[in-house]
Amino acid sequence: METTDGYKKLYVALPSIGYDSNSQIGEKTLEFYKIQPDLIEMGIEPMFFIGGKGCVIPTEQATIELTRSSGKGFLLKNCISHAKFFKYDYFICCDGSGKIPFENIIKVAKLLKEETFNCIIGKRDSVSGISEERMTVESFENYLIEKKFKLPSQLKDAQCGCWGYSLKQLGSISLTSDGYEAELDFITEALGHPDAKLRYCSIDVENTGITKFNHTAHSSKLHFLQRKLQLKKEEIISLSREFEADHSKKLPSEYSEILGALPKEMDVIGKEIEDPNNNHKQS
């Protein structure tokens, strides 16, 4: 992609595999076009990719077609690969689900363009559209990260669907997950990068209904964190008790079942490590 002299190149990924019609994708395209003049006025030339069923991502290896079963992480990994190959300066993810207005992209892009910070983490300005059960589980997922990285203070948010970073300065950051846990994947990568300078950005969120606890999604996230943070099952169980005591909150019983079903230990690629004292693998 050629750009106007002096302009920074921005790659914006708008993931929403649920879009499975040209009309839905067309509506989001028109929404994005509305913010393009503001970005160009800032000296940023944007390119965007809407991740819907049937859309294709051209990468240096091949053209990848998305299906309804393609996960959010899979889409973002390939978009980042595409952006790096064509030497974009910045990468921004903004969920295309409708809860996050695209005007938030301008706020994240502005902070990246200032280049004081090279990694921008979205902080939702309201969580009124999230059920108490889900919020408790999200807080625990964040708690695991806080403890692993020995953070001096509580994470304000680690799962907002709008975030971005400098590909030039933090090009080695790469997502490892294919699924729901893309935001957790990103923040753990950023916290582990020696050159990352993180800043929160307040993100406007529209309340279009209550987002509830999802067994499949949160099971996937917990297994991901066990692998990525290299935590043993007994450590996670212990931290869950600490969390409940520290926050005076009880994790949902359904989530306790997910905790109980964790493997004892996982290696970095997600394979269960067998207990040498047992003759069979834990189920």
Q: Is residue 233 part of a domain?
A: yes
Report pLDDT for 279.
41
Query: Is the model's pLDDT at 277 over the cut of 60?
Result: no
**Does any domain span residue 156?**
yes
| 3-state SS assignment for residue 142 | helix
Range of the domain at 96: 8-260
Calpha distance 153→147 (Å, rounded): 10
Is pLDDT above 70 for 61?
Answer: no
pLDDT at 265: 85
Q: For residue 271, tell me if it sits in a domain.
A: no
Give the pLDDT band of residue 194 (cuts 50, 70, 90): very high
Distance, first Cα to last Cα, the chain: 49
Q: What is the mean pLDDT of residues 196-204?
A: 97
Secondary structure E strands in 129-220: 162-166, 198-203
pLDDT reported for residue 268: 62
Averaged over 210-239, what is the pLDDT?
95
Give the rounded distance of the alpha carbon of 122 from its chain centre.
10
- Which of 11-20, 33-42, 226-235, 244-253 has the lowest average pLDDT? 11-20
Residue 86, in any domain of the structure: yes
Q: What single letter denotes the amino acid at residue 174?
A: S
State the number of CA atoms in the 13 A half-sphere of 49 facing the CB.
29
227-253 pLDDT, tens digit per residue, is: 999 999 999 999 999 999 999 999 999
Structure confidence at residue 282 (pLDDT):
35
pLDDT cut 90: percent of the chain above it: 64
Q: Is 279 domain-assigned?
A: no
Structurally, the chain folds into a number of domains equal to 1
Question: What pLDDT digit, counting tens, does each position of 83-127 carry?
Answer: 998 999 999 999 877 789 999 999 999 999 999 999 999 999 988
Residues 54/128, Cβ–Cβ less than 8 Å: no
- What is the Cα–Cα distance from 17 to 72, expressed in whole angstroms? 7
pLDDT confidence tier of residue 66, bands split at 50, 70 and 90: low
Give me the CATH number covering residue 213: 3.90.550.10
Per-residue pLDDT band at 134 (split at 50, 70, 90):
very high
275: in domain: no
**3 state SS for 19-56:** CCCHHHHHHHHHHHHHHHHHHHHCCEEEEEEEECCCCE
179 or 203: whose pLDDT is higher? Answer: 203
pTM metric for this prediction: 0.89
Any domain includes 272? no
Tell whether the model's pLDDT for residue 57 goes beyond 80.
Answer: no
- Between 258 and 51, residue with greater pLDDT: 258
**Residue 273 pLDDT more than 70?**
no
